[in-house]
């Protein structure tokens, strides 16, 4: 059981084990000696994968307070940096995050359920953080916020790989096509998988691009 290596708090072992055993995109990326920026860190599964594969430095962002505490603990254990912040496309210092009533992995700043509660969390400007960290690898699993963060982005030259889980609906299909056609025009798509699960009915797909 992989989850036994992690601090998981009150997360269900079923949910944690599912996340650790799926999302094999990391096998398509070579992080050895690279800097990784992990947006939407949850409890640290992606960050752990990249550290284990030889990344030089991994910085992982998480906005949900309980998730961040797990991320911080696992970062101390496995050797990655944890940051408590919601990445946004503006300069506001605080913003709201919706807390999913059942699954902590689905907390979101943009996908709001009638059953969700909300909490005010600190923010960091995504573009400024991207330039500050200067990662070779960008990973995003932001529960719908990826469209706002990536739309119109001028991709800096230091980025070599980009991995994004797009939470796709008919409503944001046009935005998705614009991002793929414009933002990542200098990249080659090397991997795509569907990420449907028993935890979500959304049409989630993980794309990996390489420059």
**Chain segment 112-162, per-residue pLDDT in tens:** 555 567 888 999 999 999 999 999 999 999 888 899 999 999 999 999 999
Could you give the percent of the chain with pLDDT greater than 90?
A: 53
Torsion of CA 79, 85, 89, 90, to 10 degrees: -140
Range of the structural domain that residue 51 is part of: 2-210
Tokens of residue 36, six digits? 């990784």
Instruction: For residue 182, give the CATH number of its domain.
Output: 3.40.50.150
* Conformational region of residue 97, where left means phi above 0, alpha means psi within -120 to 50, and beta covers everything else: beta
The structural domain count of the chain equals 1
Average pLDDT over residues 152-181: 90
Angle formed by the axes of helices 45-52 and 65-78, to 10°? 20
**pLDDT of amino acid 86:** 92
Tokens of residue 149, six digits? 């963060």
Enumerate residues 6+ apart whose C-beta is below 8 A from 205.
165, 166, 168, 192, 193, 194, 195
The Cα 74–Cα 45 span in angstroms is 9
**pTM to 2 decimals?**
0.88
Tokens of residue 61, six digits? 């962002």
DSSP-derived secondary structure for the chain? -GGGGS--TTS-HHHHHHHHHS-GGGGG---BT-EEEEES-TTSHHHHHHHHTTBSEEEEEE-SHHHHHHHHHHHHHHT-EEEE-EEESS--SEEEEEEPSS-GGG-BSS---TT-EEEEEEEEEHHHHHHHH--SEEEE--TTTHHHHHTT----TT--EEEEEEEE-GGGHHHHHHIIIIITTTSEEEEEEE--BTTB-SEEEEEEEE-
**pLDDT of amino acid 204:** 78
Residue 128: other Cβ atoms inside 10 A: 11
**pLDDT of amino acid 194:** 78
Tokens of residue 138, six digits? 């960008």
């Amino acid at each position: 059981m992989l989850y036994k290596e992690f601090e998981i708090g009150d997360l269900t072992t079923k949910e944690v084990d599912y996340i650790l055993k799926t999302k094999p995109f990391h096998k398509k990326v070579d992080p050895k000696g690279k800097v990784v920026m992990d947006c939407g860190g949850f409890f640290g599964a992606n960050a752990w994968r990249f550290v284990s594969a030889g990344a030089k430095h991994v910085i992982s962002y998480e906005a949900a307070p309980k998730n961040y505490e797990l991320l911080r603990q696992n970062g101390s254990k496995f050797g990655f940096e944890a940051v408590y912040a919601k990445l946004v496309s503006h300069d506001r210092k605080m913003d709201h995050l919706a807390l999913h009533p059942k699954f902590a992995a689905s907390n979101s700043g943009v996908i709001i359920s009638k059953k969700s509660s909300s909490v005010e969390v600190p923010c960091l400007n995504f573009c400024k953080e991207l330039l500050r960290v200067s990662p070779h690898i960008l990973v995003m699993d932001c529960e719908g916020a990826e469209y706002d963060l990536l739309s119109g982005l001028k991709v800096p030259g230091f980025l070599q790989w980009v991995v994004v889980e797009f939470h796709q609906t008919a409503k944001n299909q046009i935005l998705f096509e614009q991002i793929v056609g414009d933002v990542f025009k200098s990249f080659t798509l090397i991997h795509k998988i569907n990420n449907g699960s028993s935890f979500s009915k959304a049409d989630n797909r993980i794309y990996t691009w390489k420059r």
